[in-house]
Amino acid sequence: MTIVGKVRCCNNAPMTTKAKILDGKALAGRMREDMRSEVAQLTEKHGRAPGLAVILVGDDPASHVYVRNKKIGCENVGFASFSHELPADTSQQHLLGLISELNQDPKIDGILVQLPVPDHINPETILEAIDPNKDVDGFHPYNIGRLVARKPALRSCTPYGCMKLLAETGRDLHGLECVIVGASNIVGRPMAMELLLAGATVTVCHRFTQNLQAHIERADVVVAAAGKQGLIQGEWIKLGAAVIDVGIHRRDDGTLTGDVAFESASKRAGWITPVPGGVGPMTITMLLANTVQAFKTHIGE
Ligand code: GUN
């Protein structure tokens, strides 16, 4: 395997390099621009815009910010967005009733229930109640199963966005050693399936993994989704590796950072995503792309 970005000095010792930035904000902007014209054409042809319903239960401040950004994203590409903000004491039965109505509603192509939901609501029951054809988050077991079976339908947004960022490197993933840190249903597990589908050799590390450093040191691609600020030290990164940081954490000074120690990692990586401006904008963009896909399925295009 070629190590991209590796340089050697006179005694043949590897030196540090400066990673290329995988700019998710710029890529998301380009993708949304293309989507805007496609949505305008589809709207003209079918007499209505793609419709996305977003349900938020309770008053988690971070969820409110995410949902607001999703609504803005929808409106920017010309979707109709339908917001359902419900109080924290909403019953599971009431929420299931709303999902059932939205499943039947011909104006709605995508349904998203922002997670986490309050403790008295079972998230699996809720996610499984969404019509898989309207499951634009790609969380329904049907859509996860389609990805496992190598016939993806609606794909989980964050892993799908990470794949688009990796495509920007121009590297063929076949046979590369890819290490994912974090085994969540939302990111780590579907990410493993995406990378496997792309022909990579995949390792998923998690809280019981022994010697995380040894896994990272041999990785051509690192996807950090552990939810632990600065967990991945820059010195562990293999020279020339692609580093995708899904983590997002607020420092005491108010600035944002990820799961990877960015400054030191960018001296060794070939490519790296910044936080903010890397994975985050891509997650919302893939939600929008999934909504266009669901709309087309819905209208039979
Ligand atoms: N909470 C954190 N990330 C997500 C996401 O991608 N979708 C939903 N529905 N909830 C989330």
DSSP assignments along 129-158, one per residue: HS-GGGBTT--SHHHHHHHHTT--SSPPHH
Is the predicted pLDDT of residue 11 greater than 80, yes or no?
A: no
14 vs 94, residue with greater confidence: 94
Q: Is 127 in the pocket of ligand 1 (CB under 6 A)?
A: no
- For residue 48, give Cα distances in angstroms to 45, 75, 79, 103, 134: 8, 14, 9, 17, 17
What was the pLDDT predicted at 2? 37
Average pLDDT score over the chain: 95
Residue pair 108/53 in contact (Cβ under 8 Å)? The answer is: yes
122 Cα: distance to centroid of ligand 1 (angstroms): 15
Residue 26 pLDDT exceeds 80: yes
Per-residue pLDDT at 15: 60
Choosing from 137, 220, 245, 259, the catalytic residue is 137
Taken in order 283, 286, 291, 292, the sign of the CA dihedral is positive
Q: Which atom of ligand 1 is nearest to the CA of 157?
A: 6
- Nearest CA, atom 2, ligand 1: 115
User: pLDDT digit string (tens) for 35-85?
Assistant: 999 999 999 999 999 999 999 999 999 999 999 999 999 999 999 999 999
Q: Give tens-digit pLDDT for 226-270.
A: 999 999 999 999 999 999 999 999 999 999 999 999 999 999 999
Query: Cα(114) to centroid of ligand 1, in Å?
Result: 5
Decide if 278 contacts 257 (C-beta within 8 A): no
Centre of ligand 1 from the C-alpha of residue 94, in Å: 20
* Contacts of 102 by beta carbon, 8 Å cutoff, 6+ apart: 53, 108, 111, 134
CB 160 within 8 A of CB 147: no
Active site (annotated) includes residue 114: yes
Q: Please tell me the residue having the least CA distance from ligand 1 atom 4.
A: 115
The answer, yes or no, to whether residue 9 has pLDDT greater than 70, is: no
Model confidence band, residue 12 (pLDDT cutoffs 50, 70, 90) = low
Taking the alpha carbons of 201, 159, 168, 246 in that order, is the dihedral positive or negative? negative
User: Distance, CA 7 to ligand 1 centroid (Å)?
Assistant: 40
In terms of Cα–Cα distance, which of 50, 49, 79, 85 is closest to 66?
85
Copy the structure tokens of residue 171: 């590297």
Tell me which residue has its CA closest to atom 11 in ligand 1: 115
Is the pLDDT confidence value at 162 over 80? yes
Q: Is the CB of 256 under 6 A from ligand 1?
A: no
Q: How far apart are CA 193 and CA 189, in angstroms?
A: 7
Would you say residue 30 has pLDDT above 90?
Answer: yes
Atom of ligand 1 nearest to the CA of 283: 6
Average pLDDT over residues 7-11: 48
* CB 289, CB 168: distance < 8 Å: no
- Work out the average pLDDT over 139-160: 98
